[in-house]
A and B are shown apart, each in its own frame.
Chain A
């Protein structure tokens, strides 16, 4: 089963746990599954459209990814804040 690794404030909202094993075949499926398991994350990573929030980035096995990117069993999906701001 793939895992989602959270960073920054997302860890605290997910009960203080950074790595979560979640079933799914794409980044979007994993993140929706993570929201189901950790309701406090709802609306924090995916918006109402099901899109990754604009200034968050996902990586699958170290490669830049989007919502539709395929995820294989054993992959790790990192969700990090973009280096944006002002």
Chain B
């Protein structure tokens, strides 16, 4: 049985089923509230959900059972009396030590927990970084949306922030450095690109079996790094568009990546009314469309950055993505064929899959 945790504009949904679907909605929580992101903590089995009430502000809640009582996490706040307020929690990620958990939010803030997400502290080194006055938000805000641990090493971490590029630490977050060499922000004039910090990373992932290899969906561009995120090489040739939001990898294959191209930054829908996931198995040298079973006519979908995930690996890799249309699709054979998981959900913000 595969479990899908789906954050939507109108609540949190838990779906269960077998690849080939459809899946059943087993629980709904936070009815009517925007749920930006939800995950099941791999260390504890606890559910964590990021809820951004338009009335009461962003919070993380925890529960063992989605249909049971949810407890509010503590410490997710900016300094009292300052000039900024926490706007949104974009992602929650388990770290590489018992109970270690990260949350990324707007405005460009990283929170750390040592107890599985019950209590949190702000990472001060990133919050007080001397370049922060120059940080510019992307269209979705100053969002820290990607947190990428290094398997087995809790001190090494990569972050993606829109629109402040890639950030790397080797000392558990005490110091941070940029990892932006090779990124080309085509949305800026040529003579403004060289030293800009305004780098709109959309999604960032690591190949767990070769952790120095990373893949990135950029705001116009798909990139690969072979030096742990220090520098980047464009790999978008062969895609119908190199604009998109989410990216996924097959953990079994360090040369693999999946993207969902959208037409362009000014038209953020699947190109030509057809839905395809594109797959590379040679580290981005070539791409092939994977659309068997996906809508191929009059389908203008938008898939957001947290709305694509996988479970398993290798030949039994499962892939799942949701769209703002409320459609949810899945593949149980590494993208070769696709099925409809659910239709008519609220606009999908995030999808996380566990098997």
Contact = CB atoms under 8 A, between A and B. Distances in A.
A81 B81 contact: no
Contact of A84 (B9, B54, B56): B54
Interface stretch (B82-90, B127-135, B167-175, B256-264): B82-90
A47 B55 contact: no
A53 B55 contact: yes
B327 interface: no
Contacts, number: 44
Nearest to B58: A43
B55 A48 contact: no
Nearest to A40: B72
B85 A47 contact: yes
A48 B81 contact: yes
Contact of B82 (A40, A49, A54, A86): A49
B57 A50 contact: no
A12 to B, nearest CB: 12
Contacts of B57: 43-44, 47, 53
A43 B55 contact: no
Contacts of B100: none
A84 B85 CA distance: 20
Contacts of B155: none
B310 interface: no
B80 interface: yes
B78 interface: yes
The B contact surface, by secondary structure, is loop
Contacts of A16: none
A56 B55 contact: yes
The A contact surface, by secondary structure, is loop
Interface in B45-67: 54-57, 59
Interface residues of B, number: 17
B55 A82 contact: yes
A55 B79 CA distance: 21
B77 interface: yes
A53 B56 contact: yes
B59 A48 contact: no
Contacts of B77: 43, 48
Contact of A48 (B9, B54, B56, B79): B79
Interface string A32-61: 000000001001110111110111100000
Contacts of B83: 49
A51 B78 CA distance: 13
A49 to B, nearest CB: 5
Nearest to B85: A47
A81 B55 contact: yes
A55 B78 contact: no
A49 B81 CA distance: 5
A74 interface: no
A62 interface: no
A75 B184 CA distance: 59
A76 to B, nearest CB: 20
Contacts of B9: 86
Contact of A50 (B54, B56, B72, B81): B81
Contacts of B59: 43
A5 B80 CA distance: 24
Contacts of A15: none
A47 B72 CA distance: 16
A51 B54 contact: no
A50 to B, nearest CB: 6
Interface of A: 8-10, 40, 43-45, 47-51, 53-56, 81-82, 84-86
Closest 10 CB pairs of A and B: A47-B85, A48-B78, A44-B56, A55-B55, A55-B54, A81-B55, A48-B85, A48-B77, A48-B80, A49-B85
21 contacts: A8-B55, A43-B57, A47-B57, A48-B79, A48-B80, A48-B81, A48-B84, A48-B85, A48-B86, A49-B82, A49-B84, A50-B81, A53-B56, A53-B57, A55-B55, A56-B55, A56-B56, A81-B55, A84-B54, A85-B54, A86-B9
Interface of B: 9, 54-57, 59, 72, 77-86
